[in-house]
Amino acid sequence: MENTPPEKRRRRPPLACIACRRRKVRCDRKLPCQNCVRARRAASCSYVSDDRVEPREGTEGFEDGINGRHPQRDALSSVPFFTSTTCNSNSSPEQLAERVKLLEQQLGQVINTHNGRGTARLELPSAHFNNANFNPPTASQFLGQEHWQVKGLGRAEIGVPKARYSRDIQGPNREEEVSNTEEDPSTAGNVNAILAKSRYLGNSHWIHGVTLFPRLMLFLESLKSDKDSEGYKAVAQSKILGRQIKAMRVPQILSLEFGNYIPSRKLADELVETYLRTYETMFRVLHIPSFRLEYGRYWQNPKGARQAFVIQLQLCMAIGAVLQDDQFSLRKLAVRWVYEARFWLLQPSEKSRMNLSGLQVYCLVHLARDVVGVGSDLVWASAGSMMRMAIYIGLHRDPSRLPKMSLLAAETRRRVWNTVLEILLQSSMDSGGPPLIAMSDYDTKPPSNYNDEDLLRDTTDAEIPQPKPLNTFTDTSVQIGLARTFKVRVEIASYLNDFRSVTSYDKSLAINSELTAASRSLDALLRAYKTQDPGPSQFQLRAVEHLIQRYFLAIHLPWLGLAKDDPRYFFSRRLCVEAGLRHHRVAKTYKPDDPSERHSQPDDFGRLLICGSGSVRFIGTQCLLAATLEFVWELDERLEGARSLDFNTTGSNSTPSTASNSGVGMGYMGPMVDESEMLDVLRYTVTWMRARIKAGEVNVKGFLFATAVLAEAEGLTNDSSEEELKDVVRQACLKSAREALDLLKEMHTALSTDNSTFGVAEANMSASMNTEAYGPQVSGTEDAFNGMEDVELSSDWDWDILNPSYDLNFNINLGGMDLIFNNLY
């Protein structure tokens, strides 16, 4: 009996997560489980692996969600668990290695057998393999059933699980995973994407930064249960007014007769000059001397002007109108000009516009749509047509490889092609879509360093003027400088938004080094230009910095959530903070509400931040979110440290975000931001959002969000309790909702009574702009609230990704949160 080995006990595979097993509570076996979610520990929810459990057929996953099943349930609640094999403690390392190889081979055979029978492939959410990728709260938790997060889309379809199951925070590093089977290249997935009904939003989209504020997200989500509150009603009324204002801005009549809404010569001169000194210096579309010559002829005989020129003139004035004043008082006229240009591009005889003049109109339409706000979120979709039009007329080939042409024609082609590339790249970053262009798709060189006047000479003979040295400032120098950084910037856009992109932190740092080298070269060039007369304008310098820093921010924002608890990502954390603070220091110099501090010359870039749409507000919002988040984190860490000394403090009284994400933080390294400066950043953000509403922005949710963040930060600064913090945020949101509603009422009244920008036909129709055309008129808060059904208040997130002048929405269930974040940039 003594030599009889003890009977081996049968050990059931553990099905509960590690945290629930440790706490000895029932686990629902989801990822993350509800216990971990309630405990604010969803990021650390993980399971012990067991190689004895074979993969189950028909595992729910991403494809089932596409086919109509509940996306959150499919992505989170049906995760197959693999537990570790029990091994003899006396086994040698060689035996253990052989055992691992044998198990991997057996598992691979099982999966291949399943796939060979045509059964459903095993689909594993990548968050199970790498818990650092699951950083609660996810967008899908807060943005509703039709707006959900896809993590490692292609990798979720991999049939063979990886050999590495680690709880170490690796970030979205897929290159470190090891498998004994060859992986299908099509399965390489993007780290983090969001599917918002018909829109697939890659990593560069702004929405990925919203979920880094869990306390505010959870608080605002709870408002759905209080539909009778004053704040809920105020936001609902603001939504009705916003829709009415959008509809009132839509031109009612469009005809084939263009140029009927040209303002007086004096105003037209101001708008054209504003465009020429701002956007034309960044995105070269026109040859300025030729344009001025035709502009003078237009005023001599308006009826004899080319239609293409009239459309170009109107688009230049539309862009100039954005920077005309702090209220964007010509918004309705600018919107009409953009609509007329789009209508001109769609009219019959399309072949007659398949030339350089037609492409110039196309470029101006895209620039105007973006800055004026006429479907700015859809510019990327139509930018593909613009690029194909440019290729169709041969702009992707350098003029030196085409039949001989004048220097003016050759340089104009190079300038317009580079503008097409910039529009395509910027819209890709704004929309979160891939750029769909590579360096191998064209051989057109960057523009040569000429002034526009140099191109007017007769260049058909041997006396061709030579371009100026690169360090000499000309009309094209800024575009040339940006073109020198295009290669690394388009690489960043592809890296972030291509669903096949395999991301890792090392690769992100390598791309960051390339961008740093390119930006330093550009900075040195601009510094040399500043010493010259004439040199670059303040608008050019600020716009270039604004444009370049978004790429630094885009590289590091996906890692910012991990940086809170893992010091390995400290570089990303610090860079995001610095980018946010740089933006604030530049933007705060412009104070639209303080006439005593106005400069003698108009601050075009400051007005652009207030009145512009598209990438201007996207970049500004991302910068301010990054800087604000660091401040909230540091206050959380300070408060957590103080509460940890109070032994009588119970878990129920602790701040949710600090209780769950205390981690190591960065507190031991000292604060990275000054408290007074960060409070100044938050106060400026509120002022900025308020100024945008005064300038015609109908989205009040960004204003509410900024106010809530400021209230939260001030509460944390004063060491407020959790209940006090909630009350402060609630009161701040209520106050800002009332203020925003009053501003929208003033805007609605002004549009209803002002017919100064109407044509004759529209003036006769202005009386019909009433309840029948635009829904219930709002004369009071109760009337507005009663005019809208409850289901409409809690079932749609107005993305503004369609034409913002039309009343078209994506109906996405947010559980009441849509009232707070509807139309949020």
- DSSP string of 9-66? PP-PPP-S-HHHHHHT------SS-HHHHHTT-GGG-----BTTSPPPTT---HHHHH
Tokens coding 711: 């209230």
Q: For residue 135, what pLDDT is reported?
A: 39
Q: Output phi, psi for 194, to 5 deg.
A: -125, 130
Tokens coding 235: 């936001």
Spacing of C-alpha 738 from chain mean position: 28
Please name the residue that has the structure tokens 């950043």: 681
Q: For residue 595, what pLDDT is reported?
A: 54
Name the nearest CA neighbour of 30 among 45, 19, 43: 45
Residue type, 221: E
Residues of the chain with pLDDT under 50: 1, 53-91, 113-148, 150-191, 597-599, 647-670, 756-825
Name the nearest CA neighbour of 125 among 63, 170, 83: 63
Name the nearest CA neighbour of 147 among 209, 94, 196: 196
Distance CA 148, CA 133 (A): 15
Q: For residue 90, what pLDDT is reported?
A: 47
Burial of 403 (0-12, 13-18, 19+ CB in 10 A): exposed
Helix, strand, coil shares, percent, the chain, to 5: 60, 0, 40
Q: How do the domains of the chain map onto residue ranges?
A: 30-134+154-188, 265-533
Q: For residue 709, what pLDDT is reported?
A: 85
Q: For residue 459, what pLDDT is reported?
A: 54
Name the nearest CA neighbour of 135 among 661, 734, 719: 661
Q: Quick one: three-class SS letters along 383-407?
A: HHHHHHHHHHCCCCCCHHHCCCCCH
Contacts (Cβ under 8 Å, ≥6 apart) of 100: 163
Q: Output phi, psi for 694, to 5 deg.
A: -65, -30
Q: Are the C-beta atoms of residues 244 and 776 closer than 8 Å to each other? A: no
Q: For residue 416, what pLDDT is reported?
A: 97
Distances (CA, A) of 17 to 25, 30, 62, 63, 778: 10, 9, 22, 25, 53
Burial of 57 (0-12, 13-18, 19+ CB in 10 A): exposed
Q: For residue 254, what pLDDT is reported?
A: 66
Distance CA 675, CA 766 (A): 51
Q: In what order do the strands lie in the sheet with 193-196?
A: 147-150, 193-196, 199-201
Q: For residue 614, what pLDDT is reported?
A: 82
